[in-house]
Structure 1
Amino acid sequence: MTTRTSKISSSKIKHSNDSKPIFNEAKKWLPGFLLCSVIAAAASFVSAQYGGPTFLYALLIGIAFHFLSDNHKCIPGIEMSAKKLVRIGVALLGVRIAISDVNAIGAAGVVALAGAVILTISFSLLLARLLKLPSMLGILSGGATGICGISAAMAISSTLPQNRENEHYTLLTAIGVASFSTVAMVLYPLVVTVLGLNTFEAGLFLGGSIHDVAQVVGAGFMVSSEVGDAATLSKMFRVAMLMPVVVFFAFTFRSAREAGSDKAAAKQPLVPLFLVVFILLVVINSIGLIPTEVVTFSSDLSKWCLVISIAALGVKTSFEKLSELGWKPIILLMGNAVFIAAYMLAVVFMWRFIS
């Protein structure tokens, strides 16, 4: 009896010891995570009440709390929010994409939109070289402009070598694309009206040139509900391009990430787990196995993960450090925005001429 009791006691002690590391790790994350979550909630509230991009508000409010980035209680949670949550958010974006969406655009539309992504990243790298800026900034700004704004910047950033410089480039890109995307949301519907674009042309132009999904939806529905639907469809194909682009950069920079990391980097998979989940969710959603309620919940959860993550990135960076980067990145981001808009207009008029 005594032996049996001692075995049960030792089993309980072992179970308790096994759960302690997890509990202690979560306890370390909690202060920083709560800080970033409150900032994300405040940004969402301001956006809902007064309009404007949630991501940009989260960035700016986060920067205002930069003084907490050196607080030893907050650091683990801020780091976790900035680096882990973004992977969860990007993985869950897969529920918003189905292969049928690609078929609805048509072969010519697919080629045009894929060209927008590839050419914008290539143009951004070339312009970065001309401006004597780091190629990493060119990749981030080109990917964010060409694909889906801040979500793309965060996803691509997770495949690059993890260092302070790349964090600064990611934050600068996020602020820039959010700002230019908001300007585009206001101006591009006027371009549609002045040029007399039809529903398909307007949807292709707006969905193919505006950075963030929310701004595409806003700009499209400013024109009409039909243009809003067409623009959203075009934009979702650009979001789908996130998968191959991030996989490409994950392969390209794998050795660089490992060289800049500790022993954990040697155990990194060839394709990051969050991308595998992203691909699986796209396939499952294309088959029609994900209920509408689950898609809605997952999309909302994805957005919250990304907002909290960008808030954490804001907390980690100060305006003083951003100002050290100078005016050239602004020219880079503006150049990318002008390039993709001009490209999509050229595609639209070429389409009109051929038809």
Structure 2
Amino acid sequence: MQATSASKRTMAGLGDLVTSNGQGFLVAAVVAVAAQFLSDHYGAPAMLMALLLGIAFHFLSEEGACKPGIDFTARTVLRFGVALLGARISVELIVGLGPQLIFVVIAAVILTLLFGLAAARLLGRGWRFGLLTGGSVAICGASAAMAISAVLPKNEHSERNLIFTVLSVTVLSTVAMIAYPILTDTFAFNDEVSGVFLGGTIHDVAQVVGAGFSVSDEAGEVATLVKLIRVAMLAPVVLVISVLVRRNFASEMDGKRPPVLPVFVIGFLVFAAFNSFGLIPDAVVSFLSSLSRWALLISIAAVGMKTSLRRILDVGGQAIALIVAETVFIAGFVLLGVAVLGH
């Protein structure tokens, strides 16, 4: 009887969740499907299209039946998508690159984050903005921006800064996808060096794959592998930020002390561990990767709905200079690292 009663309560809770959030989620999903259609047929980055289309529907997030679902999608569906990113990671893939190049990639991530903090302070921007932009450039673009934003203490500029960062790294990543393969040809890099440079510098995974395989199959495989090392840094970076926020800024977190390890980071690590031990079949890995991508695409559409274009334009030229400087910094560091190693 108790089990039946508990089951009924669970079903009722799920029903309430669907009822209150279903309309907003469906709107974001439709926007995501439209964005993917534009990407498939016209070559535009799906993340960028989802963001821009979402901004056009900003009025839905201000009031009405869709508002709770849009908030839910921008928050919970986002974290679900980040957790599933772990299914792409395995220790075997990472070790195969070799310790020296792994060191260069990890150092590039850490130093870009520190550069973002220092440059943000120099330009008079807050530390939150420095972490957000630095982390998105250093790790995996829009996905990293959304994951880092989820554990930062919120203020009146949080959503504006997130939408600006996602928009900027997506545009810069698209530019890099076109320009960086030309650089690898100009510098006469071999396929391995080209892959390391492209995977170590371009922000979003999709653009890394596009740029890498436009050079050669070997460059594409190396670029994807290097990029996955950067993606693997997402969990420890978010963990460190979460611990520091919990210790020093708990009073800014709506009176609640955030968990040391957010649930979505635990999910990321669990999926990565399962994949590393070969417990997830290849077909399931492919399915989870696709599900993660769709969850992130839908959530970025919802994030776009929550922010007006006018607020994005309020960010200013210093913010643009900061994220461009971070992009140039990581590109220069990876080039230097590859040159020093003699690759």
Structure 1 residues 18 and 185 mapped into 2: Cα distance closer, same or farther (>3 Å)? Answer: closer
* Distance in 1 of aligned mates of 2:207 and 2:6: 53
- The answer to whether the 8 A contact 2:246-2:259 is kept is no
Partner of 1:287: 277
Structure 1 residues 199 and 67 mapped into 2: Cα distance closer, same or farther (>3 Å)? Answer: same
Structure 1 residue 256: Cα displacement = 6.1
Structure 1 residue 315: Cα displacement = 0.3
Structure 2 unaligned segments of length 5 or more: list them: none
Which SS does the other structure have where 1:84 is aligned? helix
Partner of 1:33: 25
* Distance in 1 of aligned mates of 2:16 and 2:4: 18
Which residue type is aligned with residue 289 of structure 2? S
Structure 1 residue 304: Cα displacement = 0.8
* Distance in 1 of aligned mates of 2:214 and 2:7: 58
Which SS does the other structure have where 2:96 is aligned? helix
Partner of 1:312: 302
User: What is the root-mean-square deviation of aligned Cα atoms in Å?
Assistant: 2.0
Structure 1 residue 201: Cα displacement = 1.0
Which residue, out of 75, 84, 92, partners 1:83?
A: 75
* Distance in 2 of aligned mates of 1:66 and 1:184: 29
Which SS does the other structure have where 2:261 is aligned? coil
* Distance in 2 of aligned mates of 1:11 and 1:254: 37
Structure 1 residue 162: Cα displacement = 3.3
Q: Any idea what the Cα deviations from partners look like across 1:191-222, whole Å, max 9, x if unmatched?
A: 00010111221111111011011111111111
* Distance in 2 of aligned mates of 1:90 and 1:326: 29
Partner of 2:59: 67
Q: Could you tell me the percent identity over the aligned residues?
A: 44
Alignment map for 1:1-355 (pairs within 5 Å): 19-255=11-247, 258-262=250-254, 265-266=256-257, 268-352=258-342
Structure 1 unaligned segments of length 5 or more: list them: 1-7
TM-score with structure 1 length normalisation? 0.92
* Distance in 1 of aligned mates of 2:339 and 2:261: 39
Structure 1 residues 11 and 224 mapped into 2: Cα distance closer, same or farther (>3 Å)? Answer: closer
- The answer to whether the 8 A contact 1:87-1:155 is kept is yes
- The answer to whether the 8 A contact 2:191-2:215 is kept is no
Which residue type is aligned with residue 151 of structure 2? T
Structure 1 residue 324: Cα displacement = 1.4
* Distance in 2 of aligned mates of 1:286 and 1:29: 35
Structure 1 residues 16 and 49 mapped into 2: Cα distance closer, same or farther (>3 Å)? Answer: same
Which residue type is aligned with residue 136 of structure 2? A
Q: Any idea what the Cα deviations from partners look like across 1:27-83, whole Å, max 9, x if unmatched?
A: 010111111111111101110111121111100000000111112211110110011
- The answer to whether the 8 A contact 1:116-1:340 is kept is yes
Q: Any idea what the Cα deviations from partners look like across 1:292-329, whole Å, max 9, x if unmatched?
A: 11101100110111111111110000111111111111
Structure 1 residues 164 and 310 mapped into 2: Cα distance closer, same or farther (>3 Å)? Answer: farther
Structure 1 residues 85 and 255 mapped into 2: Cα distance closer, same or farther (>3 Å)? Answer: farther
* Distance in 1 of aligned mates of 2:105 and 2:288: 26
- The answer to whether the 8 A contact 1:159-1:254 is kept is no
* Distance in 2 of aligned mates of 1:225 and 1:244: 30
Structure 1 residue 350: Cα displacement = 1.4
Which SS does the other structure have where 1:56 is aligned? helix
Which residue type is aligned with residue 42 of structure 1? A
Which residue type is aligned with residue 169 of structure 2? V
* Distance in 2 of aligned mates of 1:343 and 1:261: 35
Structure 1 residue 269: Cα displacement = 2.9
* Distance in 2 of aligned mates of 1:192 and 1:22: 52
- The answer to whether the 8 A contact 1:181-1:211 is kept is yes
* Distance in 1 of aligned mates of 2:249 and 2:173: 30
Structure 1 residues 70 and 206 mapped into 2: Cα distance closer, same or farther (>3 Å)? Answer: same
Number of aligned positions between the proteins: 343
* Distance in 2 of aligned mates of 1:14 and 1:220: 51
